[in-house]
C-alpha cells in the first residue's frame, strides 16, 4: 500500500485511516467475532479470523461494546453496529458481575466465571461500555450500570486488588500509573451522567497525579510505579517505564486540556510525549520498545524489546493531537515516523486487521489478530482518532494553527 506520509499528504492519510477502519478492521470483527449462540464476542482469532479459543475476557468484551456503541454515536447510526454492541452488553449484564457487583476477569463461552474479579480495569472498561451504550440507546438501565460501576471503582481505587493482591502490605508500598491514567479518560467518557463537582475533582486529582507525581522531570520519564508522595523506588517495579502507556496518557491530558481550556497542560503533555518518544524509540531496529528500565538496567519483563500494536497506535494518536493543538513540527515528524513503521509492519493487507506482536526486528512474532489482550479496541480507536484529528488539522487554516502566528 502506498504510504501517503512520504509526501506528507495529510488528506490522503485521513482517507487511509477512515477506509482502514470502516472497510477493513470493523468488517473483520463483525464477520468473525460475534457469538450468536451465547452472546458476547470471540476475541481469540487467528490471522484469518478463525476462533482458536472461546474464553471471554471482560476487558475485551467491554471494550468491544464501547467500540461499536461509539461508532454508532459518532460515525453513523448503523443498526448492525448497535446490535453488535447490544449483543455484548446483554451478555455482560447477565454474566459479568459477582454478587458484590464487581466485574470478573474472564468467563467461559457460556458465561460461567473463570477468574475472580481481581482486576479493577474490568470495572473501568465496563463503565466505559455502558456509558457509551446509554448515549446510543437512552436506556437508563445502562446508565445505572455505568454509574454504579464507576462508584465502585472510586471506592476501590486506594486498594484496587483488595483480597486478591499478592503483595505483603507495608513492605514496599507502590502506586501504579494505570488506574489514575485510565480515570482521567473515563471521567470524560462519563461526564454527561456524573455529578459536575465529582468530574472536576477527579480531573484535578488525576492531572496532578499523572503530571506531578509519576512524571520525573529530571529524567523526562513517566514511571509505572512510585512510592508514597511520588518517591521513586530503586527496584524492578520502581524503575519500570512503559513508553506506550505514557504516550496514551499524554493524549488523555491533551483532551482534558482542550476540554477545560488549559493550554499549559497541553503544552506540558506535548513536551513529555516528545521526551517519551525519543526515549522509547529503538534506534537500531526502529519501533517503540514495550518496556524499559529508567536506569538502563535489564527490565524484568522478558518481552521488553517486542514491538506491540497498541503502543504504536497510541503514539500515532498522541503525536497527531500534539500537532493539532500546538503546531509543533516535532509532533508531525514523530507522526510520520510512527505511521511508516506501523503501516510497514502491523497492517495485514492480505487477511485484514493488524498483527499485534512483533519481535525487536519488526518481524511478526504471533500472527493472531486477537487473544487475551488484543481485541476490537486499540486499533479501531486509533484509526477513528487519527482520522478525525487529521480532519481537524486540515480544517484549520495553516496561518491559524498554534505555533504558526495564531493568537
Residue 259, classified by CB atoms within 10 Å of its CB into exposed (0-12), middle (13-18) or buried (19+), is exposed
Q: Please state the pTM of the whole predicted model.
A: 0.95
**What does DSSP say about strands 44-45 and 106-107: parallel, antiparallel, or unpaired?**
unpaired
Residue in the block written with cell 526515549 = 279
What CATH number belongs to 7-36+171-396? 1.50.10.10
Beta bridge partners of 307: 358
Contact 272, 222 (CB under 8 A): yes
Q: Return the beta strands (E) in 265-331 as ranges.
A: 292-293, 307-308
Domain with CATH 1.50.10.10 in the chain: 7-36+171-396
Q: Cα(356)–Cα(379) distance, rounded to whole angstroms?
A: 10
SS3 category, 303:
coil
Helix axes 309-326, 329-345, angle to 10 degrees: 150
State in words which class domain 38-161 has.
mainly alpha
Digit-by-digit pLDDT tens for the chain (407 residues) are 444 444 469 999 999 999 999 999 999 999 999 999 999 999 999 999 999 999 999 999 999 999 999 999 999 999 999 999 999 999 999 999 999 999 999 999 999 999 999 999 999 999 999 999 999 999 999 999 999 999 999 999 999 999 999 999 999 999 999 999 999 999 999 999 999 999 999 999 999 999 999 999 999 999 999 998 888 999 999 999 999 999 999 999 999 999 999 999 999 999 999 999 999 999 999 999 999 999 999 999 999 999 999 999 999 999 999 999 999 999 999 999 999 999 999 999 999 999 999 999 999 999 999 999 999 999 999 999 999 999 999 998 664 556 553 33
Amino acid at each position: 500500500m502506498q504510504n501517503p506520509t512520504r509526501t506528507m499528504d495529510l488528506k490522503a492519510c485521513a482517507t487511509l485511516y477512515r477506509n482502514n477502519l470502516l472497510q477493513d478492521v470493523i468488517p473483520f470483527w463483525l464477520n468473525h467475532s460475534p457469538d450468536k449462540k451465547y452472546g458476547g464476542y470471540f476475541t481469540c482469532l487467528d490471522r484469518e479470523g478463525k476462533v482458536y479459543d472461546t474464553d471471554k475476557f471482560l476487558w475485551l468484551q467491554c471494550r468491544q461494546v464501547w467500540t461499536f456503541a461509539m461508532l454508532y454515536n459518532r460515525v453513523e447510526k448503523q443498526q448492525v453496529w448497535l446490535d453488535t454492541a447490544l449483543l455484548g452488553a446483554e451478555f455482560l449484564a447477565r454474566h459479568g458481575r459477582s454478587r458484590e457487583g464487581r466485574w470478573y476477569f474472564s468467563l467461559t463461552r457460556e458465561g460461567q466465571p473463570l477468574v475472580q474479579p481481581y482486576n479493577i480495569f474490568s470495572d473501568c472498561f465496563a463503565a466505559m461500555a455502558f456509558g457509551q451504550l446509554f448515549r446510543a440507546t437512552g436506556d437508563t438501565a445502562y446508565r445505572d450500570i455505568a454509574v454504579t460501576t464507576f462508584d465502585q471503582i472510586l471506592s476501590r481505587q486506594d486498594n484496587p486488588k483488595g483480597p486478591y493482591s499478592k503483595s505483603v502490605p507495608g513492605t514496599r508500598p507502590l502506586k501504579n500509573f494505570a488506574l489514575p491514567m485510565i480515570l482521567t479518560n473515563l471521567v470524560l467518557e462519563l461526564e454527561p451522567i456524573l455529578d459536575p463537582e465529582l468530574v472536576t475533582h477527579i480531573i484535578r486529582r488525576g492531572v496532578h497525579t499523572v503530571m506531578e507525581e509519576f512524571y520525573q522531570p529530571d529524567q523526562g520519564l513517566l514511571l509505572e510505579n512510585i512510592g508514597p508522595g511520588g518517591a521513586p523506588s530503586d527496584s524492578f517495579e520502581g524503575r519500570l517505564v512503559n513508553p506506550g502507556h505514557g504516550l496514551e496518557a499524554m493524549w488523555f491530558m491533551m483532551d482534558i486540556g482542550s476540554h477545560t481550556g488549559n493550554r499549559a497542560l497541553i503544552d506540558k503533555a506535548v513536551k513529555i510525549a516528545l521526551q517519551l518518544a525519543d526515549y522509547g524509540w529503538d534506534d537500531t531496529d526502529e519501533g517503540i520498545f514495550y518496556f524499559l528500565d529508567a536506569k538502563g538496567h535489564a527490565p524484568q519483563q522478558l518481552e521488553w524489546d517486542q514491538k506491540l500494536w497498541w503502543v504504536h497506535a497510541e503514539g500515532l494518536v498522541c503525536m497527531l493531537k500534539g500537532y493539532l493543538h500546538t503546531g509543533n513540527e516535532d509532533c508531525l515528524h514523530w507522526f510520520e515516523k510512527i505511521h511508516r513503521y506501523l503501516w510497514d509492519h502491523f497492517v495485514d493487507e492480505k487477511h485484514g486487521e493488524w498483527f499485534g506482536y512483533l519481535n525487536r526486528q519488526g518481524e511478526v512474532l504471533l500472527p493472531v489478530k486477537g487473544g487475551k489482550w488484543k481485541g476490537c479496541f486499540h486499533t479501531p480507536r486509533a484509526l477513528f482518532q487519527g482520522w478525525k484529528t487529521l480532519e481537524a488539522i486540515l480544517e484549520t487554516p495553516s496561518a491559524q494553527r498554534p505555533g504558526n502566528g495564531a493568537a
